[in-house]
Amino acid sequence: MRIAYTPGEASGDAVAHLCAPDNTFVGPTTFPGTHTLEQYADAHVELMTKLDDLPFVSFHVEFAKEWNKLAIWE
């Protein structure tokens, strides 16, 4: 989370070591044209620079392997 929300640190390069090779990101309505987690990180940086005073109320994370999904709600 710190990498994703710290200006100057967030980028696809900063998270590449956390991503599996040939990973896939699916978010066609929120991030069209984004197909990997690294691309998502780069798109997220652009979005966050426009919303720098956005307060977080909650967030969730989902992990998937093959057809199994684990959702974590905070």
Is residue 41 classed exposed, middle or buried when 0-12, 13-18 and 19+ CB atoms within 10 A define those classes? buried
pLDDT (tens digit, 9 = 90+) per residue, 14-67? 888 888 888 988 888 888 899 998 998 888 888 877 776 767 677 677 777 776
The H or E element that residue 73 is part of is strand 68-73
pTM for the structure as a whole: 0.63
